[in-house]
Amino acid sequence: MAKQQSAPPISCAIFDLDGTLFLGKKVLPGAIECLETLRGAGVKTLFLTNAGTRSRQGVADKLTSMGFKAQADEVYCGSYILARFLMEKHAGKTVFPVGEAGLSEELRRNGIKVDESGKDSGIVAVCLDRTLTYEKLGKAHVLLRKGALFLATNKDHIFPTESGTMPGAGAIVAALEFSSERTPYVVGKPNPMAFDLMREEHGLKSGETLMVGDRLDTDVAFARNCGMKSALVLSGNSKREDIGDLLPDYVLDSVAQLSAKLGLKKKA
């Protein structure tokens, strides 16, 4: 008789994306197999990224194209978290987006009014924008100086790629902070807002949930703020020598080591 595998120590694992499961267009070794092993052991897997460049469906489509199994309702991205915040706190207000098409798409999907002309919006929402122009930055600046609400998906200063790091959303946010002399409200990690949504939509329990990511200041800090366990993978931004007072429960060279660390084996 085959030996029965013991119950996993967690009921859900939340995975960061860039630097954790992939770098740019390159899937990190063992990432797909890790998720399959966890799911085979009955562990729910969800995806959480601060990035707001794609809609929730857009992120799921990207993951699927890379070989991961992902549904839109398993994805929590900066654009969706921002949309939910606006629905609950600022319904009916118009938003000027400083971001790529995915941000506007997600806002509109959730019934948020979007005005890309920058004329009369009461809210400026900022994420990474690789189509950024000085004109767009100027429109946001004017609105903020007039008193518009300043929101950001995140302030990540960099993000990892196959060939090194690139400026993150935080670089754009910083430009508007400096020019407008305003401070944004940031909805992404380490703000626990995303976990509140996950708990509402998936019934998660913080003590049974593990956050897996490559950044101490967002992923591990998010886990701490939510009362979750955390696993830091060294395949992205943070390195072993960066670890200080903010201690993750696990430190792994890559996500490929996670299932073994949890005592889980892939089913034959």
Annotated catalytic residues are: 16, 18
Give the integer Cα–Cα distance in Å for 38 and 60.
18
Give the integer Cα–Cα distance in Å for 114 and 218.
28
DSSP 162-222: TTEEEE-HHHHHHHHHHHHT--PEE-STTSTHHHHHHHHHH---GGGEEEEES-IIIIIHH
* Side-by-side strand order, sheet with 113-114: 113-114, 94-98, 123-126, 149-152, 185-186
Closest CA to 152 of 180, 188, 116: 188
- Phi and psi at residue 139, in whole multiples of 5°? -60, -45
169-180 and 134-145 helices, crossing angle to 10°: 50
Give the integer Cα–Cα distance in Å for 144 and 118.
11
Mention every residue, 6+ apart, whose C-beta is less than 8 A from residue 268.
none
Peptide bond into 160 cis (omega under 30): no
Reading the block at residue 79, the tokens are 């654009």
Give the integer Cα–Cα distance in Å for 170 and 127.
8
Mention every residue, 6+ apart, whose C-beta is less than 8 A from residue 229.
10, 209, 210, 211, 223, 249, 250
